[in-house]
Structure 1
Amino acid sequence: MSVIKVSHITKDYGNQRGVFDVSFEMNEGEVLGFLGPNGSGKTTTIRQLMGFMKPDQGEVTILGMDCFNDSAKVQEKVGYLPGEIAFMEDMSGLEFIRFMAKMKNMKDMSKAEELMKFLELDARGKMKRMSKGMKQKIGIVIAFMQDTPILILDEPTSGLDPLMQNKFVELIQNAKKAGKTILMSSHIFEEVENTCDRVVMIKEGHIVATKTMDDLKKNRLKHYEIHFFDESEAIAFSQKYPQSQRDKKIIHLMLKGHTNQLLQDLSEYDIDDFNARPQSLEELFLHYYGGEQ
């Protein structure tokens, strides 16, 4: 069942800023990574999904409801984490969480307390004295505490340290097991790789690729770093593989598929060291962006 549907939306701010003819859908229980550099149109798309602005053209629906005209009903079904959270700086973190719970007509705070414990968040201090990371944790608590069927998260781990980024991945994986539908904009590729079923890549307001994670993993190249004992052998090998790059005795090579043929070719040489790793999602992303950024 299609839970989120973005149909040919355009929001034109002029000077080629905005989003143009953007379309994608999300099914129930799916986790979608929405990828793109700053200014590519991720937040503009998300703000239309939340009903904060109306598209110039096209339609955005969640659970069959128009995101702009039925925004109040839509927002009851969505846990939202904005890219830039507007905090009330004179409140303590706890007061702000309770204030947001009251706005959402929440009576039971047990989920919020569970999330604060999980994120190791002491929210008693004043917001104005909190670090970016602590404020981000408060935003995550507010997005998840209502236990909604849909989560829309704009750069959710911005400001979190690596340990907390891992905790957040665990949070997403648990929400996924619970059958929630999650749209997550991100630039942290490990985060996307460890949580998402599919990615939509956006560049300058246009969708440039939509891929399943399985497809991306299946088609990604492997990066090989081969250290030869003798530079003349490295030169001879690089002539067999003209796409390789050589730095004296070291060869860097990107190949798709099995390594059998490569290992067979290398058996003719004296090898000092051999390293292999899969192409990262970031490298794939740059491939779809034509090597920019």
Structure 2
Amino acid sequence: MRDVVRVVEVGPRDGLQNEKAQVPTATKIALIDRLSACGFPVVEATSFVSPKWVPQLADAEDVLAGITRREGVAYPVLVPNDKGLARAMAMGERHIAVFTAASDAFNLKNTNIDVDGSLARLEPVVEQARAAGVSVRGYVSTVLGCPYQGAVPVRDVVRVAGALHAMGCDEISLGDTIGVGTPAKAREMLLACAQVVPMPQLAVHFHDTYGQALANVLTCLEAGVRVVDSAVGGLGGCPYAKGASGNLATEDLLYMLEGLGLETGVDRDAVTRTALWIGEALGRRPASKLAAVALANGAAD
């Protein structure tokens, strides 16, 4: 039997939303199209949050209208509330994501509402989406630490993950927003969440601030998870967490998964070329080992 890991590419949304300089709409469209051609089952495209708070993604409608959609590829969009959902549905989107955090302090800084208030605000959004036949992914931030609160009790993560699952979210992504997690803590958190959300409906999302992301993924794979989020070239970071580096680089993740004999259906070389391309477009080198090796070997697009 094939052992398959579904890699969710989040670079176009979670990565580009934190860029200091405005990224041209054409570059965003080209990035998504390149990633689609790599074989990903999911490429998170953009976000319908307020342009006031995330100006980098103010062109969400234009991006979605411009991409070339491939059969078998989902292009979910992040929505924070009913207004975001209305924008997404007006574009005909069939896959959305909602987000909250396990920390009251983070939620208050990020969305001006505590955890319970955030969940209450999301419930009608999820209900409306599900009634329209739209799939919903739920993100839980700060699952291994909060930049304002510090340690986050595992029970708080479990409570939030369970609440999103009870609302009807098809999948719950557990995010180490500031990258402070280590393997033992990551495994403990995942297994605790699996007591209230079936493991096949859980995903992990690690940032690489302390170089622990691949180790955290490995221990979670051993615990049974088979959905992993990552961003091409290690794009991203957390605007609310000083010093938090980017997401786990997709090309580095793919290298490890291949070495473990796990299938993804994604072309690693094509992803690495895409990492080099977007790095050049953004004026910097991609934050991944594979891209560094490719550059040292004179790789070109």
TMscore range, shorter length: 0.3 to 0.5
Please report the TM-score for the alignment, with normalisation by the length of structure 1.
Answer: 0.40
Structure (1/2) with the larger helix percentage? 2
Structure (1/2) with the larger strand percentage? 1
Please report the TM-score for the alignment, with normalisation by the length of structure 2.
Answer: 0.39
